[in-house]
Each structure stands twice: as structure tokens, then as C-alpha cells.
Structure 1
Amino acid sequence: MPGLMSNLDLMKEADAFPYEDSEPEAYKALSDTLYTLIWKGGHPLGYMLDSVLKTLLDTPEEIRGPVIVDEAKRTVRAFELPTEAERTARVAGLMKYWRENKTFDILRGWRNELWPIYGKDDEVIYSAERSGTGLLGIMRYGVHMTGYVKDETASYGMKILVAQRAANKSTYPGMLDNSVAGGLMTGEDPFECIIREADEEANLPEELMRERAKFTGMVTYIYITDERAGGEAGQIYPETQWVYDIELPTDFVPTPNDGEVANFYLWTVEEVQQKLAEGRFKPNCALILADFFIRHKIMTPENESNYDEIVRRLHRKLPFPGPHQIAPSTASV
């Protein structure tokens, strides 16, 4: 059927940043439009667009603080104050200024949530407003969970719980989503975060989560936003997701609590695969489902010719410091 997306197409949409070894021309073309935000020791924190750097430099210095740009190396240093609290306050003041001056559309989706930026040794060097992280191109962290029920009448012996995002959400309205997902705030434990999100989004009891939810590893990728993300397209989102599975009781009925989910569906693997192929899922949720299919032997080297590249894109090597550098098998939750 024409127009359907392959599994690899879905991975390339979610992990959209070109690979230097296999896509050198595309990699160079994009890199030439970016500056690397670095920390004092020289290690990278994120990829900042030319346009954002220009806006940063045009912002009054009493708001942004000193900014050091190396044109030759295409690096930028900023927010280098003595303490984490001072640095966080500086970034908050910048984001507030941009928001009040309507500088970037993306800040209309202000969340009032602080997300961490890590230095070496997993030290949080400062935090930034969630909606503004893409402007700095810094690492973003979240949690995603796939819920399923055993059903011997269905293929693979299961049906998968799929959420549909509310039509009024500022990002990816109306698209299909994983059973439960959310962003990880500064200082928040990933497992406690998925428990909170499960309650808010699906009314999943805490005791059921603690008993049945299982951490399965991390996925890492670099997404590039389009208009569905809200605000300016082309922002660079290096992301890490802590991934969980939960086998749900057959009589469990999810109910949205926070207005972010419009509906839940319990679909067979084939129904989920069809919706994936139609491009109905939020891009990174398609990536999480691919990880689920691999772990549950639904996607295998025998039935997927691009298996190795899909696995590579699920676990992209990222240059930025942070907890994602811990091997998935030993990651702490």
C-alpha cells in the first residue's frame, strides 16, 4: 500500500540527526548551521542553531550574561556563574525575557518545569525551563511505558494499550502515544516519575505500578522538530528515555486524569503496526514501540531486513555527559 512508512522510516523520523559516518554530506550541511554549547572544560552540552545564537547575542548582556563564541570551532560558552543556583537563575531570567518579548513561539508552551543539564560525573550544572530546552539544544530526559494485557486469542498473545493525545495539546495534538509517558524534571527519580505520570494520565494505581512495572533499559536518539512540536521547527532534541513495560490486569480500565489524553485503545500488535505505518504515532513513541517489539521478539532479524540499523538508532551514541552514558543493564532507577 503506497504511502506507508517502514520501520526504518519511523526510526529515521525519530532519530533524525544525520550520522557522520553514513551520511557525511547531510551531517556537514546541518553541522554548518549549528554551534556547540560547551561547558568550561570544553565538553559539549548541546547543539544551538545559528538563529538562536544570534538572538542570544542580541539580548542585553545584563539578561544573558557573558557569552564567548569561537567562530573557528563553532562553539559557544554561556551561563558560567559560580553556583548551580546562580546559573539556573540566569537561564531562567533569559527564558523569561524571551517569553515576555515573544521572541520564540516555542515558549508559548511554557511548562513551568525545570529540566537538568549535566556536566561531567552526572553533576547537574544548571536547569532550564522545559519549553526552552530545544533553544539551547541540550539533552532532554523522559520516561515511557508500554502497557499490555495477555490475550491468548490475539497474535503474540497480547494486546497493547495505546493513548491518544488530546486535541488541544500544544505539541503533537491528536497523535497516538505510548501507554504512559512524561518528562523528567531536575532531581526526579525516573521510576517515581513514571508512577506519577501513570496516575495522572491513566489513573494507574501506585501499588500496581510498584508491583508490575519493569525497567527495561534506555533509548537514545537525536530528534529534529517540525511544526507538530509547536514553535520553531528545526530545533535539535538529543533525548534519553527510561523505558518500562507493565503487564496490566485484563479487567483494568484506564481513565485520563489530567486532560492530556483523549482516549485509550487496546489494540492487537497488527493494529498498532498499521497505525505506525500510517504515521499516526508521535515520532519518539514509534521508536519506543520498536524497542518493545524487539524485546518481545515481534521484530527480529528474520522478519526485518533493517534490524541492525534500527537497533543502532535506538541506542545512538551521544557526545553529551549525563546519566544516559550508563550502560542500560546497569542504569539506576
Structure 2
Amino acid sequence: MAGPTPSSPQSFARILQTCDNFRLNLTDPAAEHLVTWRLISDPESPAIGLLRPPIVQQLLHEIEGTKDGSAWEVQDHDGKQVISFASHVNTSAARSRVMKELCERWRDEGLWSDVVGPKKWRGEMYPIYRNPFGPHDAPSEAEEFATAATVGSTSAVQDSEDRRNYAFMMERAACALFGVVTYGVHMTVYEEDPDELGLPKSCRMWIPTRSKSKQTWPRWLDNSVAGGIPSGLGAFESLVKESMEEASIEEAIVRRHARTVGSVSYFFKTPLGWLQPEVEYVYDLRIPPGVDPTPFRPKPLDGEVEAFELLPLEDVITRMRSGLFKPNTALVILDFMIRHGYMTVENEPDYQEIVTRLHGRFEYDQW
């Protein structure tokens, strides 16, 4: 499959706009009508997603038809339509089972095959949280359903779950259909040369080309290590896992040298119109000067990467301006440039706009 086509040079602000390209507009009559997906029908229940009209119509069909529509409810809150799980679907395991059955059936029926068809299916469960900015306390898929099979009363389970941020889990590929917040990790493996004062004067990054067989963004340029956070795995543990699987970087190297340096968050509307609010936890791994760099050098392992290149930051920027990087990876590189002083208010006219938009909240208070 073909990769990206180089574009004419873009500004950093335009690169940011490519990924952070959606704003919720409830007052524009021309805007697509979005329906809030709440955990339960109570108006005070957490909003967990934003549903586009095709998904709303399909869920209404599920409710009205012969399929398992009893799992869903539609309410009117102050003239605003809201969809939620039915009141009896009141545990995380029950909600996870509903979503598993629904998404697998849509896949098998050929609905939205460009998103959840067999070629796009990931077979990986993502956690959904009551508060997308709250703690990550999701169990693994095995723990979720094993617990559900052994616990006692539903009320006891519900009481326990009300104290957790975790709400349920669902297929990774389907998250965009439901407009839920998802999470990932990105790590930059780099070398940096200091000047006579010890300040960085030049930088080189290890940049992979994604495999042509990837379900998403094949042959685009990416960050040294990147991946989603599946249910039951923390951010750093996901990084350790992805570092070995994608880049052959040993666990001991990551645990000793990787540094957590923050996060970026953005609201992405896909070319097909689906909504993907995402949070990426960001890490740096600087190859220490004066040591054998061999153990730090990433190498393809699981087939998700075609090759790695060690590129000067100037070349990275040139390729980024040409639109060759996966959009959210470009945001992580912009964040790197700001943190390391390569982008400043003196040399970038859109500096404050970029800094602010790298840490968005998805207009969550309006959901």
C-alpha cells in the first residue's frame, strides 16, 4: 500500500491543525448533529462518547428491531437526545459484553467495514473511563470476565465499581465510531550534542517507517516507539512492551533510561469523519554520550516497522513539513522541539498557539 505523498512545505501551525482538527460546535446549525453517549440515563451520568448520526440511527434500529436493543436506552434531557446503556447493564463486565457482541456483529455484517471490517479489526480491548482525565485503573480483559464469573451479587459489584474510574472496555478499531477518548504512548529515542556550556546544539532522532501491512497509516513516518494502551496495562508498562515488540529495545534499557516528560492531547476528525479524541503519554530516551550505542539502537522485530533511520533534527523537520509523518507523531515531535528549546517564542510566530493546542480538553465540559 502506498505511503504519504509529499506536500509543499507546511507551517508548524498547519501541521498541528492536521491532527487537532475538530472543535465541538453546538450553536452552528450547519454542524453535524452529535448525540451524547452517557454511561446510564441519569443526566448526571458521565459522558463517555459523541455519536454521529449513522451510529445513532443504527442504535435506534437495534432498540426498535429484533436484535438485542434491550441493552440500550434513549432519553431526552432538556430537549437534547442522549443514548446510554440500559439500567440493567450496570456493571463493567456487562457493558463490555454488550460492546463486544455489538462490535463483532457489526464487523460480521459488514457495517463500516472501512473502520471495523476484518482488515481493520485489531482484536485488542481499549479501556473507557468515566472521567477521561482521571486515573487509569482498568483491569485486563481476562481479569474483567474472570471476575464477573466468580463474584456474588450484582449490587456488590456495582457498589465496588462506583468507586472506580474504569467503566468498560471495547474493541480498539471501533473506538472512533463511538467518539470515545483513547490513550497511547510515544517515545523519542535520540542523540544530542552539547555546546561548550553544556546546552544542546544538535540532535538526531531514530525514525521508523511504518510497515506497508499496518492497518492504519502504512509507510508513514512515526516516532521511535509508539502504541496504544490496552486495558489492564499502564502507560509505562505499555511503553516497555512496545519498545521490545516494535524496536527490539530491551526492557532494562527502557526502565533505566526512558523519562516521562508529559503528554499531548488533541481532537482528531478522521478523513472519513469519525471522531478520535486522544491522549498520548510522552517519553524521551536519550542515548547517553560516551557509551556503546548498540543496545539503544532500535531495530524492527514484529513486522510493524520496515526500517529505522537516524536523522538529524533538520531532516526530521523537513520531512514533517512535507507531510510524511503520521499526524499525531508530528505533534509529539513539536512537543519535543519545545521542551528541548529548538522551538521558541523568538523563532516561531505561532509558538503560544502551538503550546496551548498541544494540551487540549476536547471541549469535554460540553459533551
Query: How would you bin the TM-score normalised by the shorter chain?
Result: 0.7 to 0.9
Q: When the two structures are superposed, what TM-score results if normalisation uses the length of structure 2?
A: 0.79
1:7 paired residue among 5, 12, 18 = 12
1:54 and 2:57 correspond: yes
- Give the root-mean-square deviation of aligned CA atoms: 2.3
Instruction: Report what 2:45 is aligned to.
Output: 42
Q: When the two structures are superposed, what TM-score results if normalisation uses the length of structure 1?
A: 0.86
Tell me the distance in 1 between the aligned counterparts of 2:24 and 2:364.
16
Instruction: Report what 1:134 is aligned to.
Output: 176
* Closer/same/farther in 2, CA of residues 219 and 28 from structure 1, 3 Å limit: farther
* Closer/same/farther in 2, CA of residues 298 and 198 from structure 1, 3 Å limit: same
1:145 paired residue among 162, 171, 187 = 187
2:208 paired residue among 151, 163, 166 = 163
Gaps of 5+ in 1: 227-232, 322-333
CA contact (8 A) 2:189 2:287 kept: yes
Tell me the distance in 1 between the aligned counterparts of 2:29 and 2:314.
39
Aligned-pair identity (%)? 33
Tell me the distance in 2 between the aligned counterparts of 1:181 and 1:76.
33
Equivalent residue runs for 1:94-243 within 5 Å: 94-105=102-113, 106-108=115-117, 109-120=120-131, 122=135, 123-151=165-193, 156-226=201-271, 233-243=272-282
- Greater shift in the superposed pair: 203-212 or 101-110: 101-110
Displacement, 1:19? 6.4
Displacement, 1:151? 4.2
Q: After superposition, what is the alpha-carbon deviation per residue over 1:253-277, rounded to whole angstroms, capped at 9, x for unaligned?
A: 3211110101111111110000010
- Give 4+ residue runs of structure 1 displaced > 4 Å after superposition: none
Displacement, 1:55? 1.6
Corresponding letter in the other structure for 2:116: L
Corresponding letter in the other structure for 2:285: I
Count of aligned pairs between the two proteins: 309
- Greater shift in the superposed pair: 166-175 or 68-77: 68-77
* Closer/same/farther in 2, CA of residues 263 and 301 from structure 1, 3 Å limit: same
Instruction: Report what 1:67 is aligned to.
Output: 73
Q: After superposition, what is the alpha-carbon deviation per residue over 1:234-288, rounded to whole angstroms, capped at 9, x for unaligned?
A: 1100101110000125334321111010111111111000001000001000001
* Closer/same/farther in 2, CA of residues 189 and 242 from structure 1, 3 Å limit: same
Gaps of 5+ in 2: 1-6, 136-164
Displacement, 1:69? 4.4
Tell me the distance in 2 between the aligned counterparts of 1:107 and 1:174.
21
Displacement, 1:163? 1.0
- SS of the aligned residue for 2:323 comes to coil
